[in-house]
Amino acid sequence: MLMGGLSLLWIVTASMAIAVGTASVIMIIMRSSLYRHVAYADSVVAMGITGIAIGIIALVVGYNNPQVKTNKKFRSILTNVKMINADVNSEDDIKRDYFLERITANISLITKDLIILENLLRKYLENRVPNDWQTVRYIANRSRKQIEKLEQEVLLDLAQIVSLIHSRSLIDRSTTNKLYYSVLLCLEILRIDPEHDQNLLRNLGNALRLHIAQLDNILVLLEREREN
With respect to residue 16, please indicate whether it lies within any of the assigned structural domains.
Answer: yes
| Total domains, the chain | 2
With respect to residue 156, please indicate whether it lies within any of the assigned structural domains.
Answer: yes
Confidence of residue 119 (pLDDT cuts 50, 70, 90): very high
With respect to residue 104, please indicate whether it lies within any of the assigned structural domains.
Answer: yes
Name the percent of the chain lying above pLDDT 90: 41
The reply to whether 49 and 95 lie within a common domain is no
The reply to whether 91 and 55 lie within a common domain is no
Classify residue 63 by burial, with Cβ atoms within 10 Å: 0-12, 13-18, 19+: middle
Count CB atoms within 10 A of the CB of residue 114.
21
Q: Among 49, 64, 79, identify where a domain stops.
A: 64
The reply to whether 132 and 216 lie within a common domain is yes
Q: How far apart are CA 178 and CA 219, in angstroms?
A: 12
With respect to residue 82, please indicate whether it lies within any of the assigned structural domains.
Answer: no
Q: Of 31-40, 78-87, 128-137, where does mean pLDDT reach its minimum?
A: 31-40
With respect to residue 77, please indicate whether it lies within any of the assigned structural domains.
Answer: no
The reply to whether 13 and 124 lie within a common domain is no
The reply to whether 190 and 221 lie within a common domain is yes
Start-end of H helices in 30-129: 41-63, 66-127
Confidence of residue 91 (pLDDT cuts 50, 70, 90): confident
Of residues 54 and 205, more confidently modeled: 205
Average pLDDT of the segment spanning 197-220: 93
Position 11 scores a pLDDT of 52
With respect to residue 80, please indicate whether it lies within any of the assigned structural domains.
Answer: no
Name the percent of the chain lying above pLDDT 70: 61
Rounded-to-5 percentages of helix, strand, coil across the chain: 85, 0, 15
The reply to whether 165 and 94 lie within a common domain is yes
Q: How far apart are CA 154 and CA 139, in angstroms?
A: 21
Output the CA torsion 180→181→186→187 (10° steps).
80
Q: Quote the domain boundaries for residue 54.
A: 2-64
DSSP single-letter state for residue 36: T
What is the pTM for the complete model shown? 0.62
Confidence of residue 67 (pLDDT cuts 50, 70, 90): low
With respect to residue 168, please indicate whether it lies within any of the assigned structural domains.
Answer: yes
The reply to whether 36 and 130 lie within a common domain is no
Q: How far apart are CA 24 and CA 108, in angstroms?
A: 80
With respect to residue 81, please indicate whether it lies within any of the assigned structural domains.
Answer: no
Tens-place pLDDT, residues 95-114: 999 999 999 999 999 999 99
216 pLDDT above the threshold of 90 = yes
Name every residue whose Cβ is closer than 8 Å to that of residue 110 and which is 6 or more positions away in sequence.
Answer: 147, 150, 151, 179, 182, 215
Confidence of residue 6 (pLDDT cuts 50, 70, 90): very low
144 pLDDT above the threshold of 90 = yes
